[in-house]
Amino acid sequence: MLTNNKNVLKWVDEMVALCKPANVVWIDGSEEQLKALREEAVSTGEMEELNSEKLPGCLLHRTDPTDVARVEDRTFICSNTKENAGPTNNWKDPEEMWAILEPMYDGVMDGKTMYVIPYSMGPIGSKMSKVGVEVTDSIYVVLNMDIMTRMGKDAFVHLGDTSNDFVRGLHAKADLDPEKRYICHFPEKNSICSINSGYGGNVLLGKKCFALRIASYQGKNEGWMAEHMLILGIENPQGEVKYICAAFPSACGKTNLAMLIPPEIYAKQGYKVWTVGDDIAWLRQGDDGRLWAINPENGFFGVAPGTNLKSNPNALHTTEKDTIFTNVVHNLDNDTVWWEGLDKNPPKHALDWKGNPWDGTTSTEKGAHPNSRFTAPARNCPCISKEFNNPQGVPISAIVFGGRRAKTAPLVYQSFDWDHGVFVGSIMASETTAAAAGAVGVVRRDPMAMLPFCGYHMGDYFAHWLEMGKKLGDKAPKIFNVNWFRTDDEGHFIWPGFGDNMRVLMWILDRCEGKADAVETAIGYEPKPEDINLEGLNIDLDTLKDLLTVDPQLWKEDADGIEAFYAKFGDKLPAKLREELNSLKDRLSK
Ligand code: OXD
Ligand code: MN
């Protein structure tokens, strides 16, 4: 046992009595213990060791083919009342849910080992960090949690001997039956139950389950925010760094933006970009009144396909050692890994993500699962910020929202003020990409990119954002919206994206420092086209003007969509947001 904390000991005893494992192993986080676990996982075939020269310390794992992604339809927020979970979450009464879960957990670890994992989300000892304890029957979970969190006995030291403020996570793989898969959150009880899955997002309980769903609820009660945001720093040639948080729905390139490589024009002047986080930010008001952020995670759980030397060299280099690959192609010739979009040389002699023989030169089937992943330590990242472990976090100058919109949203605009910025975040949306030329896909609203991750009523969540704005007053970060995905009539992206997105971030920072002008439009402040630096780009001013156009007709239709979406929240929708919608409509019809 690694702690004298009675609350922890009592809960672990209860879990042992329920799951009835043959052994209990407390994870201290020592290299010795981890080494033994890696060896055990390799000996049972749960993981495979990769080429020790090309990929030192790297392991490969395959999940069950029916267990490859987060399962929103099996994810529940079991608040005491349905009202508290709100209209955008699946809800079940906590007792009813426990009546379903308890028999499934009863004896589920028979003959197996239960691992007790203490971990800290955020730097150990930071006032912004929180402790969790996960019990699991999976070594894969232990080894991933080691990369994704600060795992081990120090987390218990941080918790102390008497505190009850830790998130309890119970995970059992059981028999992976998709029909009996449950990912359940009990916000009022600070606890999470996951069963019948072995896939990262469902079982690494520190990540989406704790750091977003439970933490968003804690943040509302305790006056801070847990957000689905990357954090990056831009250093100017004088060595000053300004930090930006950005929220995008899944699959809009958050990891790429977080690790962007400055275009030549900025690099040669001495600008640098530093990554603090690629997925989650915890934000609190600091003693100086400003908003400060930490990344509660300690690694990256990134999507492998599409990651390459052009799209994200920093991510690729991060995965060159001490990384766990899940559901990618295993190149048998040199014991390395491959995925679609890595390079143009798929291996001939390989196993696909299901472990079947695969020849990348002839196969029409994908070798890697589209949601195959790398779990890589943040310390490996060539552009990791030196503030990554700073217990104070970093001060945030700007908050950026974004989505994938073919026509509606311009390249960038700034909200009129904080409240309008909350409105802008609340109407975030992405379109499913349609193949037909110029066709616009289905709009999926995803406020602040938190739709699948908010652990309570989203109407209350919007109110909490408005409340935070009141507290921050004139020290609040400025709020912006970007859209890298405008397309031309043939459906091609107009803006080059990737590193060139920095050109837009530079305007954003100039606005924060009062250094750039703006044009007032119906939807917010837009840059003067000449204020976005296009040097070295194949884009002329007219194209940029196109990227900045706001089509009132499209926006009126969008406003109707927002109206319908807002209706879901009933009287929990803050009146302020309805006012913002009405003002938008007024401005559009002028
Ligand atoms: C993720 C997601 O895996 O947002 O980060 O889906
Ligand atoms: Mn995410």
Cα(42)–Cα(452) distance, integer angstroms: 34
Q: Could you identify the atom of ligand 1 that is nearest to the CA of residue 207? A: 5
Average pLDDT, integer, range 49-73: 96
Q: Could you identify the atom of ligand 1 that is nearest to the CA of residue 303? A: 3
Q: SS3 for 248?
A: coil
Question: Whose CA is closest to atom 4 on ligand 1?
Answer: 250
Tokens, residue 67: 């267990």
Catalytic annotation present for 252:
yes
Output the pLDDT for position 294.
Answer: 98
Give residues with Cβ within 8 angstroms of 588, minimum separation 6: 522, 552, 555, 556, 559
Output the pLDDT for position 436.
Answer: 36
Distance 500 CA to ligand 1 centre (A): 24
304-330 tens-digit pLDDT:
999 999 999 999 999 999 999 999 999
Q: Determine whether the shortest distance from the Cβ of 201 to ligand 1 is under 6 A.
A: yes
Tokens, residue 141: 């979970």
CB-CB contact of 459 with 438 (8 Å): no
Cα(220)–Cα(222) distance, integer angstroms: 6
Low-confidence winner among 119-128, 250-259, 356-365, 550-559 (lowest mean pLDDT): 250-259
Cα(472)–Cα(290) distance, integer angstroms: 7
CB-CB contact of 263 with 536 (8 Å): yes
Q: Where are the alpha helices (DSSP H) in 498-551?
A: 501-512, 541-547
Average pLDDT, integer, range 399-410: 95
Nearest ligand for residue 375 CA? 1
Average pLDDT, integer, range 387-396: 98
Give residues with Cβ within 8 angstroms of 323, minimum separation 6: 55, 57, 58, 59, 147, 374, 375, 376, 377, 380
Cα(372)–Cα(197) distance, integer angstroms: 15
Q: What are phi and psi of 276, to 5 degrees?
A: -100, -40
CB-CB contact of 18 with 10 (8 Å): no
248-297 tens-digit pLDDT:
998 788 999 999 999 999 999 999 999 999 999 999 999 999 999 999 99
Output the pLDDT for position 433.
Answer: 58
Q: How confident is the model at residue 170 (pLDDT cuts 50, 70, 90)?
A: very high
Read off the DSSP letter of residue 333: T
148-162 tens-digit pLDDT:
999 999 999 999 999
Tokens 């919608």 appear where? 581
Distance 374 CA to ligand 2 centre (A): 14
Neighbours of ion ligand 2 (CB under 5 A): 279
Q: Determine whether the shortest distance from the Cβ of 279 to ligand 1 is under 6 A.
A: yes
Over the chain, what is the mean pLDDT?
Answer: 96
What are the C-alpha distances in Å from 88 to residues 92, 205, 364, 453, 565?
A: 13, 21, 38, 10, 11
1-36 tens-digit pLDDT:
899 999 999 999 999 999 999 999 999 999 999 999
Distance 347 CA to ligand 1 centre (A): 28
Closest CA to 292 of 227, 240, 218: 227
- H or E segment to which residue 484 belongs: none
Q: Determine whether the shortest distance from the Cβ of 250 to ligand 1 is under 6 A.
A: yes
Output the pLDDT for position 441.
Answer: 73
Distance 302 CA to ligand 1 centre (A): 8
Neighbours of 109 (CB within 10 A): 23
Distance 556 CA to ligand 2 centre (A): 30
**DSSP-derived secondary structure for 85-99:** H-TTSEE--HHHHHH
What are the C-alpha distances in Å from 254 to residues 277, 301, 302?
A: 10, 12, 10
pLDDT at 120 over 60: yes
Distance 250 CA to ligand 1 centre (A): 5
Q: How confident is the model at residue 491 (pLDDT cuts 50, 70, 90)?
A: confident
Average pLDDT, integer, range 40-65: 98
Closest CA to 115 of 129, 92, 134, 88: 134
CB-CB contact of 337 with 330 (8 Å): yes
From the list 193, 245, 252, 454, the catalytic residue is 252
Nearest ligand for residue 304 CA? 1
Closest CA to 323 of 62, 143, 99: 143
Q: Could you identify the atom of ligand 1 that is nearest to the CA of residue 228? A: 4
**Which of 72, 144, 250, when mutated, tests ligand 1's pocket best, judged by the most ligand atoms within 8 Å of its CB?**
250
Q: Determine whether the shortest distance from the Cβ of 389 to ligand 1 is under 6 A.
A: no
**Which of 70, 205, 307, when mutated, tests ligand 1's pocket best, judged by the most ligand atoms within 8 Å of its CB?**
70
**Which of 227, 252, 279, when mutated, tests ligand 1's pocket best, judged by the most ligand atoms within 8 Å of its CB?**
279
Strand partners, 274: 233
Strand partners, 400: 246, 480
Cα(561)–Cα(576) distance, integer angstroms: 18
77-87 tens-digit pLDDT:
999 999 999 99
pTM attached to this predicted model = 0.97
Q: Determine whether the shortest distance from the Cβ of 299 to ligand 1 is under 6 A.
A: no
408-454 tens-digit pLDDT:
999 999 999 999 999 999 999 998 754 333 345 788 999 999 999 99
Distance 429 CA to ligand 1 centre (A): 16
Question: Whose CA is closest to atom 2 on ligand 1?
Answer: 250
Query: Over the range 526-551, which residues count as b (16 or more CB within 10 Å of their CB) and which as e?
Result: bbebebbbbeebebeeebbebbbebe
What are the C-alpha distances in Å from 213 to residues 58, 75, 277, 292, 588?
A: 30, 11, 18, 20, 36
Q: Could you identify the atom of ligand 1 that is nearest to the CA of residue 70? A: 6
Tokens, residue 388: 């990554």
The dihedral sign for the CA sequence 358, 364, 369, 375: positive
- H or E segment to which residue 462 belongs: helix 458-472
Distance 475 CA to ligand 2 centre (A): 27
Q: Determine whether the shortest distance from the Cβ of 469 to ligand 1 is under 6 A.
A: no
Cα(515)–Cα(533) distance, integer angstroms: 14
Output the pLDDT for position 255.
Answer: 95
Distance 531 CA to ligand 1 centre (A): 33
Question: Whose CA is closest to atom 1 on ligand 1?
Answer: 250
Output the pLDDT for position 437.
Answer: 37
Nearest ligand for residue 452 CA? 1
Nearest ligand for residue 148 CA? 1
Question: Whose CA is closest to atom 6 on ligand 1?
Answer: 250
Nearest ligand for residue 70 CA? 1
Q: Determine whether the shortest distance from the Cβ of 367 to ligand 1 is under 6 A.
A: no
Average pLDDT, integer, range 185-191: 98
